[in-house]
Amino acid sequence: MGVPVIAGLGIAQPPGAAQDELWSGFFAKHFSGTTRALAERIFANSGVSHRQAAVNPLLEDVSEWPTERRMRRYQVEALPLGKEAVSRALTAAGLDAGDIGLFVVCSCTGYATPGLDILLARDLGMAPDAQRMFVGHMGCYAALPGLGAASDFVTARGRPALLLCAELTSLHIQPAGARVDTQQIVSHALFSDAAAAAVLVPGGRGYALREVASVTDTSTADHMTWEVTDAGFRMGLSPKVPQVLSRHVRDLVDDLLARHGHKLAEVDGWAVHPGGPRILNVVERELALPPEALGAARATLEQHGNCSSPTVLLILDRLLRAPVPPERVVLLAFGPGLTLYAALLERTD
């Protein structure tokens, strides 16, 4: 059987709005007193100029909605977005939905049963024997364990697998009267909505997935949280996160590359999850990368914000659409745990 290869990507995003419009039209009124001045500075320095929202706060304020109502809306909005991303990935790979042997869905922003995996398998016409896996509440790094599961299936069964990452962070704006801290403001300034899909096949042209690796520092488990509350899901984000990444990211990448006989200088594509400008700065410094190496990540943050689990696939899609696509790509993503995930891709002809 051939090595697992990413044969097609598909991206879908809801309508967008400019960051300054979101600030002046909604968030400037959402925060009050001295908090408003702090929030304005955080929004201005977020590295985001434009982002997307299935539920745009300029048009519809969900911040007072109970969680039940938000979850019902998640199903309404996520299903067509996911269908669009999956359909584009299948078309790019030259496959039909009925060819898929495993369908992996990652999401931490909405839950329902039957879930997206079941409803999309039904609507797209997947085979009755298609297996499904739902990866929930892993946060921004979920795409990489999702790719790992899909890759393992392709290797073991010799059949195509499909990954979908779909996140609607716009449903989790917290009430204006809720406890407000810097972490919450950062969350409101960064996050965005998207769906991204990837098709993996046994061999052929595309990008071979050589390995998925991870490291988790459980001593810092409280540094990043995503709590289910009566008013949606609430983000906790410690300012110490970049320090933790700085301790682990170089060893993770060096070890991954060494196992495949490569060094940092041989990587010409970097898809690094932009948890924020400080995260990218830390990765650039610790890996001793030139400024242009993380250009795709910074451009994705600027134009689309932090879309949680789909983001690393958005960056990969941007890299592969370049006039000269990279030969070797390292994907990096980070999330609760604190957990760092890395994957190595190599172009095949």
SS3 content of the chain, % helix, strand, coil (to 5): 45, 25, 30
Helix/strand/coil for 293 = helix
For residue 247, give the nearest of 214, 217, 290 by alpha carbon: 217
* Cβ–Cβ < 8 Å for 27, 43: yes
Helical axes 33-44 vs 182-190, angle rounded to 10°: 40
Helix (H), strand (E), coil (C) string for 11-49: EECCCEEEHHHHHHHHHHHHCCHHHHHHHHHHHHCCCCC
Tell me which H or E stretch contains 105. Answer: strand 102-107
Tell me which H or E stretch contains 141. Answer: none
Tell me which H or E stretch contains 6. Answer: strand 4-12
- Under 8 Å CB-to-CB from 37, ≥6 apart: which residues? none
* Cβ–Cβ < 8 Å for 105, 113: no
For residue 31, give the nearest of 76, 63, 2 by alpha carbon: 63
For residue 97, give the nearest of 74, 129, 145, 75 by alpha carbon: 129
Q: Which of 108, 140, 165, 307 is catalytic?
A: 140
Helix/strand/coil for 83 = helix
- Cα gap 291→313, rounded to integer Å: 21
C-alpha dist (Å) from residue 259 to 12, 212, 268: 34, 12, 18
Quick one: 18 exposed, middle or buried, by C-beta within 10 A (0-12, 13-18, 19+)? Answer: middle
140 is catalytic: yes
- Cα gap 243→285, rounded to integer Å: 12
| Catalytic residue set | 140
